[in-house]
Amino acid sequence: MTDTASPRVPVPGDALQRGFDFVIGERTVQNRVTPYYDETLLSILTRIVGRTGHSYLVALCPKLGMTRAEVHRAPWLGGHTSRIAEVCGFPEDEVTRRMYGFGGSKLGLQHAMFSGGPIGQSYVSTKRRAVSPASLRIAPYHRMAWDLVQLGFCPESNERLIDRCPLCSKELTWLGTSVCHCHACRFDLRKHVESGGDVKPPMYLSKLANALSPFPSLRAETVAQLPSDLRSLTGGELLQSAILIGLATRRLLDPKAPSMRRSMGKGSSRAESAEILGYGSQVLFDMREYFSDILTETRNIGGGSKSNSPIRNELGDLYDLIDPSVVGQAISDVFSARIKDHYQKSYSPFDKTTSSTVLLKWCDQVMSYDEVIASVTTKQFHAEKMRSLRTLKVGRGAKSLAYRRDKVRELIIDLENSTLQTVLKKKYGMPNVILDGLIQKKVIKRSPSLVEEILGPGRLDEADLRQWVRSIEAKLEEPRDSEPVRLKEAIRHLGTGDAAWRRVIDLIQTGQVPLVGVREDVTALTVRWSLCRRSLASHLPVPTAKSGTALTVMLAHVGLRARKAAELGRLQVIRTAPCPKNSRVSTVDQAELDRFRSSFTTPVALASEWGVPVKFVIAWLREANVEVIGSGRPNVYRLDDVKRLLASGKEQFVRFNQHSEDRTVFLLQYLRIPIGLEINNIKTRISTVQKSKQKSLIMLIKIISGFKLSDIIKDHGTSCVLYFLFYPQAWNRKASYT
């Protein structure tokens, strides 16, 4: 039908203006009733019967084929649509628009039709006749909005509706033939001026009434004022949402007030209903401003519900808005999205008060236990080690676990980048001394404690090492008329060993020796990097002498080979002079040899002094990262470095013997004896351990007491002592010391 600007203007159209004969008994009416756009069907029928001179509306029953008890239910009887249209002289579509139920409806018994959309059946009532005297004075017809039980007021006059006659106090019914008069006493309702008073707040209730209006333009104008996500809801869904929000708001304002959810759902029209509906309407139209505050306040007072559902306990009365069995899927989807948006904005990573179930439902910042297990693809990670993630847990409750999504993602990245230091050493061809130096300079970070707890200790962040390699390769330069030399050759030219590695890396990082080539297909730096040969030449040690007979003979007294002697001379570790008779021969005097012997030593010299195998001494010095002078065998060490290592051991083991000899300190350090170990504890454990371990403890006591290794071998045999000191199986038995 064509829309009109005001509900008081009759419906236009030539089809509704033609005359018709309406016969009830022997009475005839030549001019039919012209309906108003928002006039109810019962109001039209009442005015038609009033034109005939009949005193009761039941006079229509024979014509419409209904019983007297069904008169007030005429808008609900879909099977009578064609008969009603014939009686009224209207097109059938015009009658259908004013009916609340009609044949073939798939809405079910719990819903009715109002203004073209489904609405709860209990929200509409035709058995109850409620009117606004002020609106009747404007136009004498019954408005469709008056049939909404929960509305309880007229949106045209902002006046509360009355459902009893002010004169005789009887209920207003649809038995009479006048819309403006009481059927019992014929009192003119338009003369009544002391109504229930204006509704407060009228603005939001008027907006809600307009959203339910049968006028399309008025309804569209009002719906446009709603938030965008609510505009898809029908009028009935808006009314139900306003009721539930109003009930929740009322509970916040007065927690001790009885719940009216059941009474309003059944169509209560008490004075409180208008106030509750007003609160709900205000929240609907100002959703952005109020809804988050209501959610926050509901959480602060503990919801109000006590059930096994954490979500219901969290939301309290607002839970009905997301329950499809209560409000339907459309309302549930809209308010679920609203609640999720609220939690997304108000979520704190340190939240320990909100239930984990609630956070998992509405917060994308958290993830469940199963998601964590599915996200972490590391083989060593499994459910038994989930206790390690307690620092990432948020929320409360033990049934469902929630974890911070950002921290879990960081953990996944750390697990992927975490690599054993021994693997990195082999992959990049770098000695431990370089990796340790980068760790000390904080260029490379050790894996977080949580990663080491999951995968094991001794791990580094490979991403940092790759970043360090890329930062050096970013300074790649052109060869500049110079042949490139590989990194491993450059190290050999500088003397090899840890000192040569440190020297080359320092030259590269400071830019003194530029990088001129990178092989992308390999990761080992000794083969991947190529350096500028010309720049490297200026940093090579200046040879002072070549191998000669005199130098070879003199250094042979301290157990050094001829090749080693030439290397020490080239590195200026020992100062040489050319032979006057033969410039190709280098000589060294006794004073220089004495200085060398007092400043440097070899594993052979230390082993002969302490009476231990040479390989034990080499392993001890290598494990302590004592710098090796030059390359090749025998190894040469600074005597001060060895003495410093022994001095630190004497301080650690002073409780055993205040005057421990060097060989005793060496053996204690080589065996990695725990610092807090006591001799009395060892003696006590001898009688409690297996026989295979008793010999180890007895030999350990003799070493602490200062026995020579040769004496211990005489008592226990060579194979037994070497097994205790050297073979890897013995290292696993050191746990029996403590």
Q: Which residue is associated with the tokens 């410093």?
A: 644
Q: Give the pLDDT of residue 113.
A: 78
The closest alpha carbon to 357, from 292, 390, 404, 309, belongs to 309
The residue count of the chain comes to 738
Q: Note whether 453 and 387 are within 8 A (CB).
A: no
- Eight-state DSSP code of residue 419: E
Identify the burial level of 358 via C-beta atoms within 10 angstroms of its C-beta, where 0-12 means exposed, 13-18 middle and 19 or more buried: buried
Top mean pLDDT of 3-7, 305-309, 689-693, 724-728 is at 689-693
Radius of gyration of the chain (CA): 49
pLDDT over 90 (residue 142): yes
Q: Which residue is associated with the tokens 């990178």?
A: 518
CA 290 to CA 19: how far, in whole Å? 54
Identify the burial level of 594 via C-beta atoms within 10 angstroms of its C-beta, where 0-12 means exposed, 13-18 middle and 19 or more buried: exposed
Residues whose CB falls within 8 Å of the CB of residue 469, separated by 6 or more in sequence, listed in order: 428, 525
Of 59-63, 238-242, 553-557, the poorest mean pLDDT is in: 553-557
153-154 vs 117-120, strand pairing mode: unpaired
pLDDT over 50 (residue 12): no
Residues whose CB falls within 8 Å of the CB of residue 557, separated by 6 or more in sequence, listed in order: 593
Cα atoms found within 13 Å of the Cα of residue 635, Cβ hemisphere only = 21
Report the DSSP beta bridge partners of residue 355.
Answer: 396
Tokens of 359: 């956070």
CA 315 to CA 302: how far, in whole Å? 8
Q: Give the pLDDT of residue 189.
A: 92
CA dist 501 → 172, 492, 628, 669 (Å)? 105, 9, 12, 27
CA dist 574 → 468, 554, 595, 600 (Å)? 37, 11, 9, 10
User: 378-429: per-residue pLDDT in tens?
Assistant: 665 554 556 667 777 777 776 677 888 888 888 888 888 888 888 999 999 8
User: 433-443: per-residue pLDDT in tens?
Assistant: 889 889 888 88
Residues whose CB falls within 8 Å of the CB of residue 528, separated by 6 or more in sequence, listed in order: 487, 518, 519, 522
Top mean pLDDT of 170-184, 569-583, 621-635 is at 170-184
pLDDT over 50 (residue 490): yes
The closest alpha carbon to 17, from 96, 89, 82, 81, belongs to 89
Report the DSSP beta bridge partners of residue 29.
Answer: 22
pLDDT over 80 (residue 521): yes
Peptide bond into 201 cis (omega under 30): yes
pLDDT over 80 (residue 679): no
CA 430 to CA 523: how far, in whole Å? 11
Tokens of 516: 């001129």
Residue 385 vs residue 728, higher pLDDT? 385
Cα atoms found within 13 Å of the Cα of residue 546, Cβ hemisphere only = 4
Q: Is 414 helix (H, G, I), strand (E, B) or coil?
A: helix
Share of the chain above pLDDT 90, in %: 6
User: 76-127: per-residue pLDDT in tens?
Assistant: 887 788 888 887 777 888 888 888 875 444 444 467 777 767 777 878 888 8
Q: Which residue is associated with the tokens 């038609």?
A: 48
The closest alpha carbon to 46, from 22, 71, 19, belongs to 71
Residue 11 vs residue 670, higher pLDDT? 670
pLDDT over 70 (residue 15): no
Model confidence at 141, pLDDT cuts 50, 70, 90, reads very high
Q: Which residue is associated with the tokens 């590989």?
A: 486
The DSSP-derived string for 464-503 is HHHHHHHHHHTT-----S--EEEHHHHHHHTT-HHHHHHH
CA 279 to CA 291: how far, in whole Å? 11
Q: Give the pLDDT of residue 626.
A: 85
CA 649 to CA 620: how far, in whole Å? 12
User: 271-293: per-residue pLDDT in tens?
Assistant: 567 777 877 888 888 877 777 77
pLDDT over 80 (residue 324): yes
Q: Which residue is associated with the tokens 């965008």?
A: 228
Model confidence at 255, pLDDT cuts 50, 70, 90, reads low
CA 243 to CA 204: how far, in whole Å? 13
Top mean pLDDT of 108-112, 485-489, 669-673, 685-689 is at 485-489
pLDDT over 50 (residue 510): yes
pLDDT over 50 (residue 549): no
Of 251-260, 285-294, 431-440, 641-650, the poorest mean pLDDT is in: 251-260
The closest alpha carbon to 596, from 654, 553, 638, belongs to 638
Q: Which residue is associated with the tokens 């058995």?
A: 127
Q: Note whether 302 and 181 are within 8 A (CB).
A: no
Q: Give the pLDDT of residue 728.
A: 41
Q: Note whether 205 and 153 are within 8 A (CB).
A: yes
Q: Give the pLDDT of residue 655.
A: 61
- Eight-state DSSP code of residue 87: H
Q: Give the pLDDT of residue 182.
A: 92
How many Å from the N-terminal Cα to the C-terminal Cα in the chain? 97
Q: In what order do the strands lie in the sheet with 515-518?
A: 484-486, 529-532, 515-518
Report the DSSP beta bridge partners of residue 181.
Answer: 188
Using H for helix, E for strand and C for coil, what is the string for 18-29? CCCCEEECCEEE
382: alpha, beta or left? (left if phi > 0; alpha if psi -120 to 50): beta
CA dist 466 → 124, 257, 329, 463, 496 (Å)? 72, 67, 52, 5, 24
Q: Note whether 332 and 319 are within 8 A (CB).
A: no
Model confidence at 579, pLDDT cuts 50, 70, 90, reads low
Q: Note whether 417 and 461 are within 8 A (CB).
A: yes
pLDDT over 90 (residue 165): yes
Model confidence at 468, pLDDT cuts 50, 70, 90, reads very high
The closest alpha carbon to 600, from 641, 639, 554, 645, belongs to 639
pLDDT over 80 (residue 496): no
